[in-house]
Structure 1
Amino acid sequence: MKEVDLTNVIDMHVHTSPDIRERRYTDFDMLEAGIRVNARAIVLKSHHGTTMNRAFLCNLYNKKVHEKNDFEMIGSVTLNNAIGGLNPVAVETALKMGAKVVWLPTVDAKNHREKYGQKGGIECLDNKGIVVEPLKEIFKLIKDYNVVLATAHLSPEEIFKVVEQARDMGIKKIVVTHPEFWVVNMTHEEQEKIVKDYDVILERCYAQPLGGGKYKSNLDDNLQVIKLVGYKNVMVDTDGGQIENPPWEDALREYMQYLLDNGISEKDLYHMTRTIPASLLNVDLGG
């Protein structure tokens, strides 16, 4: 069986240090890993604010230290309490500084807190089930800057309503963040429906945390969903960087090899690992 090649791969979901929890890589370690495997780009994600400033420094370092290569680090902003939650000013600032992905609340989302037995949390819907006004302001910014909206750790009910509002407001780039994650817990039927109704991208990740430092492989379930909804609406990411998981490049290679070995064609795999994220991020894949 042919072995996968990571050349030009793009991973839109990687966690690095500095962070509150321990990570396997620093930003610069992650840069080196991406260059080492000839990746095209990596999006840095933090639950605690913004990463476009860190991505800027990585790219500057790359130009100064390495010979010319095509690798690019890309930043994002996550709407948790560290930036004031649903804060349009923080989002606009991040977008002006180059962020290309806006994540809705993750660890501070009401749904996330409820799943972990905690109270409170950021709500994206009001008591009538309507998207709250600050989030609508943020949606206007996402549309104007033509960046990616990622649904993060919302519940399926919230995701459907948020996606509907986003589409109605003209947002073109919508990613349903790891719908297989037990905190999100979208059924296969719900994933199929949201793709059919709104033509979103499902981000299916390598593994997910179960607590106590343990992780569960998503590979078989990912394969099932790719076959269910079609490769054109599934993006392959790792959600990597945890010390409990394999090194990023090993995890991505294992994931891609699993798909290739189980009936996914090289053409379809290329689409899920290069074409989709390149289109979302406005990244040129070259010849």
Structure 2
Amino acid sequence: MFDVHVHAAPDVLDRIGFDDEIGASYAAAGYSGFVLKAHHESTVGRASAVARSSGLDVVGGVALNRAVGGLSPATVLSALSSGGRVVWFPTADAHTQETACLPRLDDLDPRMDRAVLSVPPVLAAEDGKTERDIMLILDLIAEHDAVLCTGHVSATECRWLLDEAEGRGIRRFLLTHPSYTVPGMHPMEIAELAERGAYVEITAYQLLHQPGMTAARLAEVARAAGERLVLASDAGQPTSPEPPQALENLIAALGDEGLDAGWLRGAAGETPRRLVLA
């Protein structure tokens, strides 16, 4: 088993455990490794430390939010040159996050402004520098053979990113929980992008915390994803189970919807491991 989406302390939000404690929980559960994610800092150094201490394949990356410079090629170059494997496009600072009233760093202090980030075609046409920076970011992801994750941007932006990724030879493209509140994609849209080569993430967090989400709805998404399905926990919240258990619960819930157990375990093991590491 290999979890591509887990959160740990230290963080600006409360987490269920620190990096080493999360690593120990995965080792005890027999996982081969996991991807450590944070919304507001690179996890490359943290992941490397946990990998050395735990013996697991622990991978880091960077989410392109304002605290790390936003849509910054320098941030991406630093993360990937230091061993990072994953680049998430904006999550907490995506314009969709603000519109949906989901948590943002700015919530912590009223003196912070509410600026948001976007990519074409939502990006303002006159913002040529940001568009050039995004193009360089995509080139860096391609050159390092890293994983492009769409983050919390809109469905329109996800489609644009896939178009650009195809043109640049990016082989590893993951739709970040596309059926979550943001971007809120329909299974038919998801199926279309999966057929074009996008991997499709479903997370335990959705089942635990997404308003209105059910195992039956997630099973529709899983069927739309087909062999491109990736199951992850997106856990680490104090109100969620330990991340390995959260992922096991997701697999069980989808199995109860009639999905093949072997396929589901592959989507939480070999498929994400191959996406990130092979």
What is the TM-score with the length of structure 1 in the denominator?
Answer: 0.85
Q: 1:61 aligns with which of 50, 53, 78?
A: 53
Q: Which secondary structure state, in structure 2, belongs to the residue aligned with residue 12 of structure 1?
A: strand
Residue in 1 that maps onto 2:16 = 24
Residue in 2 that maps onto 1:74 = 59
CA shift for structure 1 position 119:
4.9
Q: 2:202 aligns with which of 204, 212, 221?
A: 204
Does structure 1 conserve the Cα–Cα contact (< 8 Å) formed by 2:48 and 2:58? yes
Q: Which secondary structure state, in structure 1, belongs to the residue aligned with residue 268 of structure 2?
A: helix
Does structure 2 conserve the Cα–Cα contact (< 8 Å) formed by 1:11 and 1:42? yes
1:228 and 2:224 are equivalent in the alignment: yes
Q: Which runs of 5+ in 1 are unaligned?
A: 1-8, 64-70
Q: Can you list the C-alpha shifts for 1:102-134, whole angstroms capped at 9, x where unaligned? A: 000001112211222995301212334998111
- State how far apart, in whole Å, the 1-side matches of 2:222 and 2:244 are: 22
CA shift for structure 1 position 34:
0.7
- State how far apart, in whole Å, the 1-side matches of 2:71 and 2:173 are: 17
1:104 and 2:89 are equivalent in the alignment: yes
- State how far apart, in whole Å, the 2-side matches of 1:277 and 1:17 are: 23
Does structure 2 conserve the Cα–Cα contact (< 8 Å) formed by 1:142 and 1:148? yes
Residue in 2 that maps onto 1:179 = 178
Q: Which secondary structure state, in structure 2, belongs to the residue aligned with residue 47 of structure 1?
A: coil
1:90 and 2:75 are equivalent in the alignment: yes
Does structure 1 conserve the Cα–Cα contact (< 8 Å) formed by 2:202 and 2:218? yes
Q: Can you list the C-alpha shifts for 1:21-43, whole angstroms capped at 9, x where unaligned? A: 10011101111001001101110
Q: 1:40 aligns with which of 21, 27, 32?
A: 32
Q: Which secondary structure state, in structure 2, belongs to the residue aligned with residue 208 of structure 1?
A: helix
- State how far apart, in whole Å, the 1-side matches of 2:256 and 2:214 are: 16
Deviating more after overlay: 34-43 vs 256-265: 256-265
Q: What is the number of residues matched between the two proteins?
A: 263
- State how far apart, in whole Å, the 1-side matches of 2:91 and 2:225 are: 25
Residue in 2 that maps onto 1:127 = 124
Residue in 2 that maps onto 1:66 = none
- State how far apart, in whole Å, the 1-side matches of 2:79 and 2:12 are: 20
Please, what is the CA RMSD of the aligned residues? Answer: 2.2
The share of aligned pairs that are identical, in percent, is 27
- State how far apart, in whole Å, the 2-side matches of 1:229 and 1:280 are: 15
CA shift for structure 1 position 271:
2.4
Deviating more after overlay: 109-118 vs 236-245: 109-118
Residue type at the aligned position of 1:33: S
Q: 1:268 aligns with which of 260, 263, 267?
A: 263
Q: Which secondary structure state, in structure 2, belongs to the residue aligned with residue 16 of structure 1?
A: coil
Q: Which runs of 5+ in 2 are unaligned?
A: 103-112
Deviating more after overlay: 200-209 vs 91-100: 200-209
- State how far apart, in whole Å, the 2-side matches of 1:189 and 1:80 are: 29
Residues 229 and 78 (structure 1), Cα distance of their counterparts in 2 relative to 1, 3 Å cut: closer
